[in-house]
Amino acid sequence: MSNSYVDVLFIFSLLCATGLIMAYFESKKRNPLRLPLPPGPRGLPLIGNVLDIPSEYEFLTYNDWRRTYGDLVSLHIFGKPLMIVNSAKVAHELFDKRSPNYSDRLNLIFIFSMGWDWNLGVMRYTERYKEHRRLFHSYFSPSATTRYHTILRKEAQIFVKVLVEKPDDFQHQLKHMAARAIMLIAYGHEVATDDDEYVQVAEAANKTFSDALNPGSFLVDFMPILKQVPYWMPGASFKRKAREWRKLSRDLIERPFQAVKRKMKEGTALPSFTSILLEESTQPGSKIDEEIVQNTAAMAYAAGADTTVSALTSFILAMVLHPEVQARAQAELDSFIKGERLPDYSDRAEEKTPYLDAVVSEVLRWNPVTPLGVAHAVTEDDTYDGYFIPKGTVMLPNQWAILHNPDDYPDPLAFNPDRFLKPDIKDPRTAAFGFGRRMCPGRWMADAELWITFATVLTTLDIGRAKDENGQEIVPDGRYNSGFLSHPLPFKANIKPRSERALRLLNEAVDQI
C-alpha cells in the first residue's frame, strides 16, 4: 500500500470522525436532555420509512399506528424527520398554542415549480403570506361573508331546480353550482354553460394541484438534490410534469383576473371581490397590491370549489344511506317554513335549525374533505410530552384520525348528527378546516354554503335509493377515493320533488332571480 494512499485514507477517516464528533456535539447542544424522538416503526438505512408508507388511504395506516405508538408517531424519510399528529390534544397543543413555531410549510419544490407559490395553503410562513391572508380574511371573515349570502342562496335554488330536471346528474351539477357561486363572488363572472372556459381551466389546474399534494407523490420534496437532475434523466419526471402543469396554474390566476380588468375598462364589470379591490387600489394612499388581489381571488376558487363539492356529495350520500336523518331534518324545517317559502339565513341566525346544524357538523366529521392536512414545518427545536421535535420536522395532521377518535366521537364510523346536539362535544371544524394560523381562511363561507344548500335541498326534495332492473334498492357502499381531496366514489340516488307545492315554490324563487 503506497504512502499516498495511506495519507488519503487517514485524511478521509479524520474528516469522517470530525464530522461525527461535530454532529454529536451539535445534537447535544440542541437536545441537552437527550430526549428521544416519539416512537414509530423502525426504518431501513438511508431510505428510512419510505416503504412503510402505503400508496393509498395513508390516513388509515397512520390511525392504526396510533394504537401501537401513540398520538404522535415519528418516521424518517431519506433522513428527514416526519411526525404524524393523530389526536386533537397534540394538534391543539402544537398547532394552536405553539402556532408561531408550527405555522411554516415545507419548501414544496414540486408544487412551487408548478407555479403554485401564490397559494395560501402551501405558502411559506413569511410576511408575504401574512399580507395575502390579511386581505383574504378582510373579505371572507364571518361578518364579511354575510355579503355573499344572497348569491349563495340563489345558487342553491338554481342548483335544486336543475337537479329536478337532471336528477341522475347530481354529482356534476354539484360541481357546477360550486363553480358558479365562487366565480360570481371572486370575479363577477356568470357561469352560463357546462363548458365555461374559466371553470374548465380551474378544474384542470386544481386536479394537478391535488395530485401533487398527495403525500409521497414526488420525492423531490424529501430529496432536494433531485432538483439538480437534468430534465432528460431518469428521476426527473417531476420537472417535466411541473413544466407541463405550470401553464394551468398561470391560466387559473391570470385569465379571469385579466377579464375583470378588461370589463372594468369597458364599464361592464359586475361587483366582485376582484373589481372592488382593484377599484380601491386606485385610491390615493391605498396599499393594496394588485398581485395579491390576483392571487387571493384565485385562492378563493382553488380553496372553495373542490372542497365544497366533496362535502355536498357526502351529504347526498348520507341522506341516501340514512333516510331517518333526512326525515328528521325535513321535519325541523317544515315546523317553521310550513310549505310557505324557502329557507333563508335568518332561520339559522334565529337558531331554528339545531338539528340541521348538527347534520352540517356531522358531514364535516364523518368523511373529512382532506383526511390528511397540508404538512406543517417546525421552525425551531421543541419538546413535547418528553419527546424531542427537531427543527425542520415535517408535521402531518391526520384529520381523519382526529375526527374518528372514539374518545371524542363514540361510534365514529356511524353517521349520527345527534352527537352534536350535546353541549360538550368537540366542534369538528377545529380539525376539518386545519389548525392554528394555517386554518382555512374561507371556512366561514364554506360553512354558509353548505348550510343553505342542505336546507334548500331538504325543503324541496326527497333523496332516496335508486332501484335496479329488478326493483331492488341499490345501497351505496360508501367508498371514497384515495387522495389529498376525498370524494365519494360515484353512486346512484333517486332524487325527486317532495310535493307540487315545493316545486312551485322553487320555480317561483328561481324565476325571480
Binding-site members for heme are 440
Secondary structure element (H or E) that encloses residue 303, with its range: helix 290-321
Q: How far apart are alpha carbons 239 and 235 in whole angstroms?
A: 9
**Nearest C-alpha neighbor of 305 from the set 208, 398, 202, 391:** 202
Q: How many H-runs (helices) and E-runs (strands) does the chain carry?
A: 20, 8
Q: How far apart are alpha carbons 344 and 102 in whole angstroms?
A: 39
Give me the amino acid identity at 471.
G
Cell of 422: 350535546
| Cβ neighbours for 326, distance < 8 A, ≥ 6 positions apart | 319, 458, 462, 463
Residue 56 burial (CB < 10 Å; 0-12/13-18/19+)?
Answer: exposed
**DSSP assignment of 16-29:** HHHHHHHHHHHHHH
- Kindly report the number of other CB atoms within 10 A of residue 337's CB atom: 19
Q: How far apart are alpha carbons 222 and 394 in whole angstroms?
A: 10
Q: Which phi and psi (to 5°) does residue 197 adopt?
A: -65, -40
Q: How far apart are alpha carbons 69 and 82 in whole angstroms?
A: 14
Binding positions are: 440
- Are 287 and 333 in contact by the 8 Å Cβ rule? The answer is no
Q: How far apart are alpha carbons 462 and 455 in whole angstroms?
A: 12
